[in-house]
Structure 1
Amino acid sequence: MPKFLVGCLVVIVVLVGVGGTAGYFLVIKPGWEFATGVQEFVQEYAELNEQIERQDDFELPEDGGITSEQFQRFLVAQRDMREAMEGELGTLKERFESMQQEIDDEERDANIGELFTAYQGLGELLIEAKRVQVEALNRYNFSLQEYLYVRNQTYRALGQEVAVASFGDQAPQVRSYTVPDEVVEMVSPHREELMEGYAFAWFGI
């Protein structure tokens, strides 16, 4: 069971013990329904991952580098994703920017309540974004692992944190990297364009 769903269920169990009957009707029942929705979301997300044509393992470079060819494929994949989502991407950006501002103002990490807020009502939109991502990966010959690696290193080169959430069976391999100077030099001129698609990364896409 994905960690995010486990977290949701833990919160619900705690609230049952604290809130009694009133807590059940005001918080627990809606929370349980939401957790069930998350489980359905995770299943659909995993099914979309299975539609990625390249399923081979991607060997993570030890030096944290990305090639010019990989970066160019990532750029065009992102352009296609932004074009396909058009107005819907604005909704993702607004939700991300609002939550990020609150988190930055209080100098802390997102908590479980904010994760509820972030994903509630966005399930269909995130599934559509995932579908668009899968189409772009297949079009530009990316495996999921290669795409996530190139995406992460690209945004790290811009000084941005990247999402670590993953749904389904293909969680990204996590490794701490430094970003080579040549990657920073390659990515930096494209900052403005890349930040247009940063909401995808923040939501794990």
Structure 2
Amino acid sequence: MTNLTRLQRVEDVRDGFVWRTELGYSGTGLGATEDRVVLNMSFQDSLLATETNYASYGLEQSGTYRLDQDRVENLLGTLSLEYFHGGSVRWTGWYTSLAFTAARNLTADQQLLIGGENGLRGYPSEYQQGDRRVLWTLERRYFPDWHPFKLFRMGGVVFVDAGRAWFADGQSNGPDGGVLRDVGVGLRLASSRVEVQRMLHFDLAFPLDGDDSIDALQVLLRGRSRF
């Protein structure tokens, strides 16, 4: 397919499943401060793969088991769904995704956040935090057949985000603890001369919720490997 996660590039689409498992051990005899067992797993499977449609779901788990305290730490589990439509045969396409993440026994250096870099583009980074998170995104994507100076490809997007992070026990999760929404537009630039795995994302996002402390316009400039 083309115009799936890259700009004007042919991409191989997996019509099947992949399962990865990582098992490790971090011990004091090897220089660690505690004895830990590390377990990470991921599973992804396609639900639909045609010339104009691609849908998949995935399950991811990561975390450690601390042997001296007999407890798990930084346990994270995520269920995600993605759907692409139209990019292969026309210059526009649709994309939507839905993801739910649950965490347990997060340490001080690990947080489950939402806002800015963490999913809701219309809000400052770390606007909400918790041990549960849900995020939905809908995008209308544009892939013009325009190749300025034969140096880079351009794409555009109109998007809507909605989501929330919260604590299961009811702790305060931020200045506005409810469901947050935003709308916006964006520009994508990808080099066609140099094999760079990232493309430039320039987004203008407008929050529809939140408290009075946030700006009415959020500007994001990032490098991303996907559209």
Settle same-fold status: TM greater than 0.5: no
The higher-RCO structure (CA 8 Å, 6+ apart) is 1
Query: Which structure has greater helix proportion?
Result: 1
TM range (shorter): under 0.3
Larger Rg: 2
Query: Which structure has greater strand proportion?
Result: 2
